Structure 1
Amino acid sequence: MTARALIIGAPRSGSGKTSITIGLLRAFARRGVKVRGIKTGPDYIDPGFHEAATHLPGLNLDSWAMAPDLLRHLARKQAEDAELILIESAMGLFDGIVGEPNRSGAASDLARLFGLPTLLVLDVSGQSQTAAVIAYGFAHYDPAVRIAACILNRAGSERHKKLSGEAIEAIGLPVVGTILRDPTLILPERHLGLVQANEHPEMDAHIERLADAMEASLDLDAIFAAAKPFDIPPGAPEKALPPPGHRIALAHDAAFTFLYPHLIRGWREAGAELVPFSPLADEVPSSDCDICWLPGGYPELHAGKLAAAGHFKAGLTRFAETKPVHGECGGYMVLGETLEDADGVTHAMTGLLSHRTSFARRKMNLGYRQAKLCADSPIGRAGETARGHEFHYASVVSPGTDEPLATIADGTGKEIGPSGGRRGLVSGTFFHAIARS
């Protein structure tokens, strides 16, 4: 089966791409279409919404962090046994960093690499005919990125819908539907973005409302027809991060949730077994595992409960005496000595590393990272470079005395300095690894 595929892009974040993508995924699934979602850029939250809408695993594709061969490999895997792939753009369609051609992180890179058309979502609130100027710019900015059609979002009235739509169609771009302004369709948010799909108490009912809105407002047949057969050359997984062990004890609960779907799939396909446990439930990593991985998440929201999880803390300490333990972002915070929550209350963490972090003293850290490893670790060998990103508001209030795990640079190669820590078999960093450089 050859899937059809389409990129859903917009001029900026906040245009409604995620709600529209989720609604379309469910609407097509209702029709019996085998549909799957992909999110561009370093976003581990939206694939959970795609999975909630389709009941099939989501995927991230990041053109900066992932080499083209890895992008093709992962995309073909996602398209197996699918009829339609909807690829949701991060930020604006052309938003990325300056670097190698088609390695900017922008969704437009995938449009060129895969030869896919784009469905442009335009938030027309506060404008009407001017929307046609924006659409015209997108249609002519890059001949290699074809705009197939437009969706108008947040129109205020039928008259508003008519004025905007007719102006866009007059420049030769079809409009496949208009969604009227409806605050009930907005997804809830928190400090790292959207509240995750598995935390929303009525997520399935919300997705159903989104699908109802898409069916009522959009021409699904025209959208399916705009998608192009997804016939891309085979790729290769050589630049994927290899599994850090054969049996991986994986912290997994409301405090530890941020692990990329492509890592989970790749590790399993390489023969690794993931053995989940819950620190919030005071569980310990299984002693028959050969590594423990603490992913990112929201430990700052559960710091008191984690501090009181004595069984977990003692068990992790025993595990670390003979086997590697690695923490990313939130996991790194839990490996430190203390974590100060948003209310300024300091909680004792595991103390396996010597740094101290604070969420009360917030500082946004966001961007691509190139991490050259100072020693062998679960991310890779000493001297190797991994590509990934940082996205957190917590700050290090005491760096501790551990050796750094890596030296990092931003996406353009500008040096930032040492990152993370390592002591014995324990390592951690705020850096989320995505792929090998």
Structure 2
Amino acid sequence: MSAKGLLVAAPRSGSGKTTITLGLQRALVRRGLAVRGLKCGPDYIDPAFHAAATGAPSANLDSYAMPDGLLAGIAGAAAEAAEIIVAEGSMGLFDGVPGAEGHTGASADIAALLGWPVLLVVDVSGQAQSAGAVALGCMLYDPRIRIAGVILNKVASERHRRLAAAGMAQIGLPVLGALPREASLILPERHLGLVQAGETEDLHARLDALAEAVAAAIDLDAVIAAAGDTTPPAGGEAAPALPAPGKRIALARDAAFSFVYPHVEAGWRAQGAELVPFSPLADEPPPEDCDACWLPGGYPELHAGRIASASRFLDGLRSFAQTHSVHGECGGYMVLGKGLTDADGVHHTMAGLLSVETSFAKRKMNLGYRNAVLEADGPLGQAGQRLSGHEFHYASIVSQGEDPPLAMVTDPHGSAPTAAGSRRGLVTGSFFHAIAARGEA
């Protein structure tokens, strides 16, 4: 089986891509189809919602941060396990960063690379026929892709729908559905985006209600017919995204630590590693029979008091780090540091395995791709290893401390190399989430 696929995208962020993607995924599952979701870009929250909607794993596809071999492997694995792939774009359809042709991080790159038609979601609030001009621009902007149809979102009335549909008829673009403004499911949000799928109350009831609204408003037969063959690129070496840091990896997993890219976990398993979850919030230390510990990102700033009082976890982590490698990403990096100040300005003592001090009281958004070169051997690879990654956090470093940096990093916009992260003994950490290894510098 090799699934057909399509990409749900929009001219801009906030158009309703996630809502409509989840509704389509769930509605097609309820029809009895084997559905897989995939997410363009580095977002680590939406794939968990896709998995909840479809009952099957989801993953990221990132044309900037991932080599073609990795992209082909992720898309190919999903296609082999499904009848249809409903992928979700990020930001606007053509929004990306400076990069080689086809490798800018734009959702359009993924549609072109894999041969998927685009289902364009257009938020028509505040406009009617003019929405057709916006859609026409999307149709003409990039000759690599094909827009198969449009879904009108946030429609105010039947009259409004007719006027917006007339604009689409003028450019010859089929309207596959129209969702009224009140039909949108509002999923709870937090400072990094949606509240995580595992924390959303009555998630499956919400998804079922959304599927019913989508099935009533969108021509599902037309959506299925619009999907195109999945054609992963030939060539390019298929390899795990990152080296496995150990054979048995203690992986923190709870409401404070949850941002692990699915393709990274899959790559570790493909290398023969076993992932052993444990919960710092439940005051569990990393299991002693593991040979590496990974503290992923998440929301430790919302649970700083509980983490600071989790003595079994902190003492066990300190003991583990004496003889085994420990790595923390973003939130995990904050917990490895000396202290974390929460949004109320209260300081909480953390593990103290690195000298960094962080604060959520001094909020500043840090967002974007990072290209890193490791300064020393460690769980992410050997000195000189190049990594692509992404950073998205509101916490600030108030004191870097005396530890040497983990890596030198640049961004896609020509920034000068800057020291990032920390390392001490067998412990490393950084604010950037590693997405893929890219060879040596």
TM-score of the aligned structures, taking structure 1 as reference length? 0.98
Aligned to 1:56: 56
What is the correspondence of 1:180-199 to structure 2 with a 5 Å cutoff? 180-182=180-182, 185-199=185-199
- Deviation of residue 242 (structure 1)? 1.8
Does the alignment pair 1:305 with 2:306? yes
- Deviation of residue 141 (structure 1)? 1.1
Aligned to 1:356: 357
What is the correspondence of 1:25-424 to structure 2 with a 5 Å cutoff? 25-182=25-182, 185-233=185-233, 236-238=237-239, 240-424=241-425
Deviates more, 1:237-246 or 1:308-317: 237-246
**Secondary structure of 2:121 counterpart:** strand
Aligned-residue Cα RMSD (Å) equals: 1.1
- What is the rounded CA distance, in whole Å, between the counterparts of 1:178 and 1:341 in structure 2? 43
Q: 8 Å contact 1:370–1:413 — kept in the other structure?
A: no
Deviation digits for residues 168-192 of structure 1 (CA, Å, limit 9, x no counterpart): 0221110001000017612111100
Deviation digits for residues 65-87 of structure 1 (CA, Å, limit 9, x no counterpart): 00112111111011122100011
- What is the rounded CA distance, in whole Å, between the counterparts of 2:229 and 2:310 in structure 1? 51
Does the alignment pair 1:14 with 2:21? no
- What is the rounded CA distance, in whole Å, between the counterparts of 1:104 and 1:184 in structure 2? 30
Instruction: Give the residue type in structure 1 aligned to 2:252.
Output: A
Instruction: Give the residue type in structure 2 aligned to 1:151.
Output: I
Alignment size in residue pairs: 437
- Deviation of residue 379 (structure 1)? 1.1
- What is the rounded CA distance, in whole Å, between the counterparts of 2:240 and 2:409 in structure 1? 19
Deviation digits for residues 260-295 of structure 1 (CA, Å, limit 9, x no counterpart): 011111111221000000001000111110100000
Q: 8 Å contact 2:376–2:384 — kept in the other structure?
A: yes
Aligned to 2:428: 427
- Deviation of residue 232 (structure 1)? 2.9
Query: Structure 1: which 5+ residue stretches go unaligned?
Result: none
- What is the rounded CA distance, in whole Å, between the counterparts of 1:300 and 1:416 in structure 2? 28
Q: 8 Å contact 1:372–1:383 — kept in the other structure?
A: yes
Deviation digits for residues 8-50 of structure 1 (CA, Å, limit 9, x no counterpart): 1101111000000000000000001111100000100000000
Q: 8 Å contact 1:338–1:356 — kept in the other structure?
A: yes
- Deviation of residue 133 (structure 1)? 0.4
- Deviation of residue 115 (structure 1)? 1.8
- Deviation of residue 414 (structure 1)? 2.0
**Secondary structure of 2:410 counterpart:** strand
Query: Structure 2: which 5+ residue stretches go unaligned?
Result: none
Change over 3 Å in CA distance of 1:142–1:406 after alignment to 2: same
- Deviation of residue 385 (structure 1)? 0.8
- What is the rounded CA distance, in whole Å, between the counterparts of 2:366 and 2:417 in structure 1? 12
Deviation digits for residues 96-134 of structure 1 (CA, Å, limit 9, x no counterpart): 001111110001001111122100000000000100100
- What is the rounded CA distance, in whole Å, between the counterparts of 2:435 and 2:35 in structure 1? 25
Change over 3 Å in CA distance of 1:406–1:233 after alignment to 2: closer
- Deviation of residue 144 (structure 1)? 1.1
- What is the rounded CA distance, in whole Å, between the counterparts of 1:152 and 1:322 in structure 2? 57
- Deviation of residue 140 (structure 1)? 1.0
Q: 8 Å contact 1:99–1:412 — kept in the other structure?
A: no
**Secondary structure of 1:206 counterpart:** helix
- What is the rounded CA distance, in whole Å, between the counterparts of 2:48 and 2:40 in structure 1? 13
**Secondary structure of 1:182 counterpart:** helix
**Secondary structure of 1:403 counterpart:** coil
- What is the rounded CA distance, in whole Å, between the counterparts of 2:115 and 2:84 in structure 1? 15
- What is the rounded CA distance, in whole Å, between the counterparts of 2:408 and 2:232 in structure 1? 36
- What is the rounded CA distance, in whole Å, between the counterparts of 1:425 and 1:65 in structure 2? 27
Q: 8 Å contact 1:6–1:116 — kept in the other structure?
A: yes
**Secondary structure of 2:328 counterpart:** strand
- What is the rounded CA distance, in whole Å, between the counterparts of 1:80 and 1:273 in structure 2? 24
Residue identity over aligned pairs, in percent, reads 60
Deviation digits for residues 291-310 of structure 1 (CA, Å, limit 9, x no counterpart): 00000000000000000001
- What is the rounded CA distance, in whole Å, between the counterparts of 2:192 and 2:231 in structure 1? 35
